[in-house]
Amino acid sequence: MRRLLPLLLPLLAALSACEDQSMRRQARYEVYGKAPLFPDQAEARRPPEGTVEVGALSREAALRDPPPLDAALLERGRQRYDAICTPCHGYTGHGDGMVVQRGFPAPPSYHEDRLRAAPAAYFVDVITRGYGVMYAYADRVEPRDRWAIAAYIRALQLSQGARVAEAPDLAEKLP
């Protein structure tokens, strides 16, 4: 131990003289500050021209090509609609969700003629980009789920506008 002491003392002295090397004290630019290193003096850098975000091409393809309509897609659409859309649009799509009942501006009813006539891609686009006071859900809802929600909106439109005469089997079962 006595032999190690003369070796450890200079090492300990050298370590105690070191500056704080943690990230708390490193040189950095302030957010949206000036950076003299770059010709445009902007600290926030734009991506290089022609770059594509990872996964962007597959997301675009999924938005372009709707999945086949089946019971599983409708069930997924119902689940996602209930979780994401009902606070504003309500369970039946009349625009009477809980936040609307608390004073938030009411969205249009899905049962308006304009929205009944709109293609399913319109609803996917609104979910993706937002519309009016509705913000974009592109980063919250996957493309396949957007199509599932659009399919479920169609089912809501059909269910709320159906007439007993259009469903003869149902008319026989009613009292």
Amino acid letter at 162?
A
Q: What is the pLDDT of residue 85?
A: 96
Condensed to tens digits (0 to 9), the pLDDT of residues 148-161 reads 999 999 999 998 86
Please check whether residue 129 is in contact with residue 138, taking contact to mean a CB–CB distance below 8 angstroms. yes
Task: Enumerate domains of the chain plus CATH numbers.
Answer: 57-168 (1.10.760.10)
Note the pTM of the prediction, 2 decimals: 0.69
Mean pLDDT of the region 43-58: 87
168/129 Cα distance (integer angstroms): 40
Please check whether residue 84 is in contact with residue 149, taking contact to mean a CB–CB distance below 8 angstroms. yes
Task: Give the whole-number percent of the chain exceeding pLDDT 90.
Answer: 55
Q: How many CA atoms lie within 13 A of 149 on its CB side?
A: 27
Among 15-24, 34-43, 53-62, 142-151, which range has the highest average pLDDT? 142-151
Condensed to tens digits (0 to 9), the pLDDT of residues 66-106 reads 999 999 999 999 999 999 999 999 999 999 999 999 999 99
Whole-angstrom distance between the N-terminal and C-terminal Cα of the chain?
99
